[in-house]
């Protein structure tokens, strides 16, 4: 594979991954679809090698095959790029408001997003000087139905998707309070839709309660959840209005505009 003399980037240690990068870079450099011959010449890969890898990338929708013998970048890259963009933007917008909320309540404030059937914690605001606290590690994951933020995302799904989630995961429980039956989960999600907030009542971890409010982007889509985690006997329901206000503040920074006093679109 060719490499310009001024390219000093660290190269992958696995040859096939290096070739994948070369193919994607070649396709990215051209607006119109490229023929296999052009791709081979651009990357220095044998046509049969390029063809085999491109077909594998096509299966994953990383590459499209619009006409016989031509290739272009696929929509999966756009989807992933939008996910990264949204998560980076929401984190930037959330940092200052999260720390302000933490100063007010002196309990951890978590920012998390959905990834498949789980939520992923991408930011937190907490202080080690505040005594006993419940801190979710950045990068940590948890099932949707056992977390306050996860319930917000499930509440935004239609009933068929919720049932599919329940079937796919089996609704496993972590504590005696965990919701493990579909009907109970559906009732919980109905309450979340009605109130615009969701709760975790020692369902993920014994002795820990959480509350969450949703963060929406400029298209009104639910893209993240802002939650407060605290020991079960310390979580104060009077924090909820401030939590919701902070989530609205972050949403506004992302371009979301509430229509009147109604609930945000999901």
- Is the pLDDT assigned to residue 233 strictly greater than 80? yes
- Is the pLDDT assigned to residue 89 strictly greater than 80? yes
Closest listed residue to residue 3, CA positions, set 44, 55, 52 = 44
Q: Percent of the chain, pLDDT > 90?
A: 67
- Is the pLDDT assigned to residue 1 strictly greater than 50? no
Q: Where is average pLDDT lowest: 15-24, 187-196, 197-206, 250-259? A: 250-259
Q: What is the CA radius of gyration of the chain?
A: 23
Q: Is 18 exposed, middle or buried (0-12, 13-18, 19+ CB in 10 A)?
A: middle
């Amino acid at each position: 594979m060719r490499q310009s003399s001024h390219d000093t980037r660290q190269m992958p240690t696995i040859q096939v991954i290096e070739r994948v990068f070369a193919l994607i870079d070649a396709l990215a450099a051209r607006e119109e679809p490229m023929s296999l011959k052009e791709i081979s010449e651009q990357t220095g890969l044998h046509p049969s090698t390029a063809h085999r890898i491109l077909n594998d990338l096509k299966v994953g929708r990383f590459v499209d095959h619009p006409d016989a013998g031509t290739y272009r970048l696929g929509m999966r890259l756009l989807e992933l790029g939008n996910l990264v963009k949204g998560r980076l933007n929401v984190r930037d917008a959330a940092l200052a408001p999260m720390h302000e909320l933490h100063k007010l309540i002196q309990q951890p404030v978590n920012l998390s997003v959905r990834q498949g059937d789980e939520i992923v914690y991408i930011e937190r605001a907490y202080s080690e000087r505040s005594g006993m606290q419940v801190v979710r590690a950045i990068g940590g994951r948890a099932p949707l139905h056992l977390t306050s933020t996860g319930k917000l995302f499930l509440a935004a799904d239609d009933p068929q998707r919720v049932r599919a989630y329940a079937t796919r995961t089996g609704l496993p429980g972590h504590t005696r309070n965990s919701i493990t039956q579909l009907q109970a989960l559906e009732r919980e999600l109905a309450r979340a839709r009605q109130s615009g907030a969701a709760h975790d009542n020692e369902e993920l971890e014994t002795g820990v309660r959480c509350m969450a409010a949703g963060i929406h982007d400029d298209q009104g889509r639910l893209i993240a959840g802002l939650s407060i985690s605290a020991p079960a006997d310390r979580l104060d329901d009077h924090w909820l209005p401030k939590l919701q206000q902070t989530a609205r503040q972050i949403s506004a920074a992302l371009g979301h505009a509430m229509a009147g006093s109604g609930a945000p679109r999901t």
